[in-house]
Amino acid sequence: MGLDDVQVSYMTLEDIDDVMIVEKLSFTIPWSKNALIEEVLNNRMAIYITAKIKGKAIGYAGMWKIFDEGHITNIAVHPEYRENGVGSRLVEKLVSIAKEQGIVKMTLEVRKSNAAAQSLYFKYGFREQGCRKGYYSDNGEDAIIMWKENV
């Protein structure tokens, strides 16, 4: 697989089944299918994108636009496609969309133990700005709060 084979586009309802596979393989407490459908269809603040190969979603990312801020809700890549630049393509696209929509800063929470994700976010200008103690309900792990200024 080369990155040229990966197409990044806005998520549609047709992508949900593939996205649910990625979601379940990526998170100990995955979002429900109904929650994702609700985000795509009815949440006017939500922006969701997918990374696809040959029409099959292998990764996705979501962001809520709240006034002039973007809050990244999820970024996940199917385990078979990790460490190939797919996560980078998703972050790049979210930042590009943020610029287009007048978002001036972006934020996210990431597990304290997830060094790979933190490294990805640092690469795109996110910086650690705080901690949410016991944020993750599955194991009580802390979340690092990261911000990107001047999108």
38 is an active site residue: no
Of the candidates 38, 121, 135, 136, the residue annotated as catalytic is: 121
Query: Do the beta carbons of residue 67 and residue 61 sit within 8 Å?
Result: no
| CA-CA-CA-CA dihedral for 13, 66, 116, 15, to nearest 10 | 0
Q: Which of 39, 48, 60, 109 is catalytic?
A: 109
What residue ranges in 3-149 does DSSP mark as E strands? 6-10, 46-53, 56-66, 69-77, 105-111, 127-132, 143-148
Q: Is 121 a catalytic residue?
A: yes
Contact 121, 88 (CB under 8 A): no
Active site residues: 109, 121
